[in-house]
């Protein structure tokens, strides 16, 4: 099925834009939800994670001990790569399964780290970037998550730059100071383009 990879930095408005496409009946595959599910109690990544990192990384309910793993991968890049070596192939496989089962004219795959984690670009027909300024990201995430400016800046510093995401895009939704009806109008127009590209 024709697939659009939807990406953007934290607070750019990916979820908001994805919901506007879903309102047109476009099925969504959310790689963040999948990443969470495979490390939930007895998720499919858990046996490999326990084997690789030890039972101390598995919480009592059989889920990943996220706080402990975060602490480890924050200071140990090799551990982060080993973790991703387990999770990334499973996330890709689950994404492909959901994509095969999706019903609709085309599918939107929400991939926050599309630009950062290499092979996604080749797995979709179009890359759609939701764009806004760094200042807008900061204001939105401070208000949504109650984070400090420094906390948001630290997250942004670990993500691809705005320029890199724009360079990777086939299509761009401008979500800087966009009132909701202007955002909706952009999504409606983009949806018509994707219907046509998908041959629907
Ligand atoms: P992401 O999924 O990229 O992190 P969200 O879609 O969750 O971003 O948007 C971040 C926050 O900003 C949310 O609270 C959302 O409601 C708000 N938001 C997104 N776009 C707009 C907009 N155009 N106008 C006002 N608020 C917005």
Which CATH number belongs to the domain containing residue 17 in this structure?
A: 3.40.50.300
Q: Clarify whether residues 130 and 57 are in a common domain.
A: no
CA–CA distance, 21 with 165 (Å, rounded to integer): 20
- The arithmetic mean of pLDDT across residues 169-184, rounded, is 95
- The arithmetic mean of pLDDT across residues 60-65, rounded, is 96
- Is 15 known to sit in a ligand binding site? yes
Q: Is the CB of 178 under 6 A from ligand 1?
A: yes
- The arithmetic mean of pLDDT across residues 171-188, rounded, is 96
Q: Clarify whether residues 66 and 4 are in a common domain.
A: no
| Token pair recorded at residue 120 | 């996604």
Residue 118 has pLDDT above 90, yes or no: no
Query: Is 188 inside any structural domain?
Result: yes
pTM of the predicted structure, to 2 decimals: 0.93
Radius of gyration, CA atoms only, the chain: 18
Q: Are 45 and 86 in contact (CB under 8 A)?
A: yes
Q: Is the CB of 112 under 6 A from ligand 1?
A: no
Q: Whose CA is nearest to atom 16 of ligand 1?
A: 16
Chain-centroid distance of CA 34 in Å reads 10
Q: Clarify whether residues 136 and 41 are in a common domain.
A: no
Q: Domain of residue 79: give its range.
A: 34-101
Q: Clarify whether residues 144 and 181 are in a common domain.
A: yes
Q: Clarify whether residues 110 and 83 are in a common domain.
A: no
Tally of domains within the chain: 2
Q: Clarify whether residues 97 and 152 are in a common domain.
A: no
Q: Clarify whether residues 38 and 97 are in a common domain.
A: yes
Domain end, chosen from 86, 101, 116, is at 101
| Confidence band of 178 (pLDDT split at 50, 70, 90) | confident
Q: Clarify whether residues 148 and 69 are in a common domain.
A: no
CA–CA distance, 167 with 173 (Å, rounded to integer): 13
Q: Clarify whether residues 114 and 189 are in a common domain.
A: yes
Cα→Cα distances 190→17, 20, 185, Å: 11, 11, 9
| Confidence band of 9 (pLDDT split at 50, 70, 90) | very high
Task: Give distance in angstroms: CA of 170 to centre of ligand 1.
Answer: 22
Q: Clarify whether residues 12 and 47 are in a common domain.
A: no
Task: Give distance in angstroms: CA of 153 to centre of ligand 1.
Answer: 17
Task: Give distance in angstroms: CA of 108 to centre of ligand 1.
Answer: 18
Q: Clarify whether residues 89 and 124 are in a common domain.
A: no
Query: Is 119 inside any structural domain?
Result: yes
What is the model's pLDDT at position 25?
A: 97
Q: What is the mean pLDDT of the chain?
A: 95
Task: Give distance in angstroms: CA of 11 to centre of ligand 1.
Answer: 6
- Is 12 known to sit in a ligand binding site? yes
Region at 54 (left for phi over 0; alpha for psi -120 to 50; beta for the rest) = left
| Token pair recorded at residue 37 | 């599910």
% of the chain with per-residue pLDDT over 90: 93
Query: Is 61 inside any structural domain?
Result: yes
Q: Is the CB of 183 under 6 A from ligand 1?
A: yes
Query: Is 200 inside any structural domain?
Result: no
Query: Is 69 inside any structural domain?
Result: yes
């Amino acid at each position: 099925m024709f697939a659009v990879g939807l990406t953007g930095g934290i607070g750019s408005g990916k979820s908001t834009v994805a919901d506007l496409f879903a309102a047109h009946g476009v099925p969504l595959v959310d790689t963040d939800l999948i990443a969470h599910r495979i490390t939930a109690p007895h998720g499919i990544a858990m046996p490999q994670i326990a084997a690789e990192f030890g039972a101390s990384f598995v919480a009592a309910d059989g889920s990943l001990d996220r706080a402990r793993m975060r602490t480890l991968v924050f200071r140990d890049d090799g551990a982060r790569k080993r973790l991703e070596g387990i999770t990334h192939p499973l996330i890709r496989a689950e994404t492909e399964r959901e994509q095969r089962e999706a019903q609709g004219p085309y599918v939107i795959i929400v991939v926050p780290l599309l630009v950062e984690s290499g092979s996604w670009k080749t797995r979709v027909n179009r890359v759609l970037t939701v764009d806004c300024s760094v200042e807008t990201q900061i204001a939105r995430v401070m208000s949504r998550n109650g984070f400090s400016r420094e906390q948001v800046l630290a997250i942004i510093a670990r993500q691809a730059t705005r320029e890199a995401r724009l360079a990777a895009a086939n299509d761009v939704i401008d979500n800087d100071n966009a009132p909701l009806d202007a955002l909706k109008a952009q999504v409606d127009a983009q949806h018509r383009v994707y219907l046509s590209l998908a041959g629907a």
